[in-house]
């Protein structure tokens, strides 16, 4: 992992809630607060998938959100990575629920999971840093 | 008159050589901008569609705002008048001629009556 090179450009993150209880969403916002301040490294949330390198998915994927999730992922430019945040991405306490499509990796190619219910901001930042390394590899392959 | 003669109109000029040079410069700039684009961009309905929070594009017909929306306030405020006027517009020429003759007759009666 060569962070020095990867930090040469910003890493913009799109946050997608597929049915979260908002626990993970609050931790996403907590990670952006001045205590950690990832924006000083150019890591920030964006409002459109067109501008994003990373998509953070929070919450279990409900039936209504499946096609929206696929559509938003398709609208992100390559290279792109998907981070599943929280225990719900692998089912969690809602595993095998009638109202869920299934684990996130049955819908999108998930690069990494950040476990926890909810994960702490430090875990989220660690996941994003690993996403940078993954993006580096993808760019080299291209 | 040479093909490269500059035509002066008083308000400006037209020179085919300058026009060709300007067109070439514009094409070069456009090519440079196009060159910086993402080559791996996916093609397809989902990738190229507008971002509406993940919702499907409803299509132009579903989101079209008709011109009538601009004067909705007038048409609503004057709806009492429109309810009476619209049925009178039958589209039949004979009806319009009848209205014309009737109104003309009424005006004549008024004018003649006032004049007398």
**Model-level pTM greater than 0.80?**
no
Residue A18 CA: distances (Å) to CA of A15, A28, A35, A92, A113: 10, 14, 27, 14, 15
List, for residues A28-60, the tens digit of each pLDDT value: 999 999 998 888 888 889 999 988 888 999 989
- Minimum-distance CB partner of B51 among A69, A75, A78: A75
pLDDT number for residue B101: 96
Residue with tokens 């990373």: A54
Residue A42 Ramachandran class (φ > 0 left, ψ -120 to 50 alpha, else beta): left
Question: Given this model, what pLDDT does residue B61 score?
Answer: 83
Please give the pLDDT value at position B40. 67
Give rounded-to-5 percent helix, strand, coil for chain A.
Answer: 45, 20, 35
CA distance to partner chain A, nearest, from residue B69 (Å): 30
Name residues of chain B where pLDDT drops below 70: 1-4, 38, 40-42, 45
Q: Which residues of chain A have pLDDT under 70?
A: 1-9, 91, 142
Tell me which chain A residues have a C-beta less than 8 angstroms from the C-beta of B40.
77-79, 142
pLDDT digits (tens, 9 = 90+) for B26-45: 999 999 999 887 676 667 76
Whether residue B42 and residue A69 make contact (CB cut-off 8 A), yes or no, is no
* Cβ within 8 Å of residue A125, ≥6 positions away: A31, A36, A38, A43
Alpha carbon distance B52, B55 (integer Å): 5
Give CA–CA dist A90/A97, Å, rounded.
12
Q: Which residue of B has its CA nearest to A68?
A: B54
């Amino acid at each position: 992992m060569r962070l020095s090179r990867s930090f040469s450009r910003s890493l913009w993150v799109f946050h997608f809630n597929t049915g979260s209880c908002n626990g993970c969403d609050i931790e996403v916002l907590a990670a952006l607060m001045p205590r950690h301040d990832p924006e000083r490294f150019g890591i920030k949330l964006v409002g459109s998938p067109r501008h994003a390198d990373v998509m953070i998915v929070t919450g279990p994927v409900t039936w209504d959100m499946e096609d929206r999730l696929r559509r938003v992922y398709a609208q992100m430019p390559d290279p792109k990575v998907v981070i599943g945040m929280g225990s719900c991405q692998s089912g969690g306490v809602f595993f095998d629920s009638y109202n869920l499509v299934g684990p996130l990796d049955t819908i999108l190619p998930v690069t990494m999971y950040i476990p926890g219910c909810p994960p702490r901001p430090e875990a989220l930042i660690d996941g994003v840093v690993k996403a940078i390394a993954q993006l580096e590899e993808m760019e080299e392959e291209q | 008159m040479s093909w490269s003669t500059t035509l002066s109109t008083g308000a400006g000029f037209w020179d085919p050589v300058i026009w060709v040079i300007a067109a070439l410069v514009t094409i070069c700039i456009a090519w440079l901008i196009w060159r910086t684009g993402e080559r791996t961009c996916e093609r397809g309905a989902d990738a190229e569609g507008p971002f509406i929070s993940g919702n499907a594009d409803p299509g132009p017909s579903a989101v079209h705002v008709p011109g009538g929306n601009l004067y909705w306030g007038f048409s609503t405020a004057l709806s009492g008048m429109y309810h009476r006027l619209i049925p009178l517009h039958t589209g039949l020429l004979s009806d319009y001629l009848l209205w014309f003759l009737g109104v003309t007759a009424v005006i004549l009666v008024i004018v003649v009556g006032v004049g007398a």
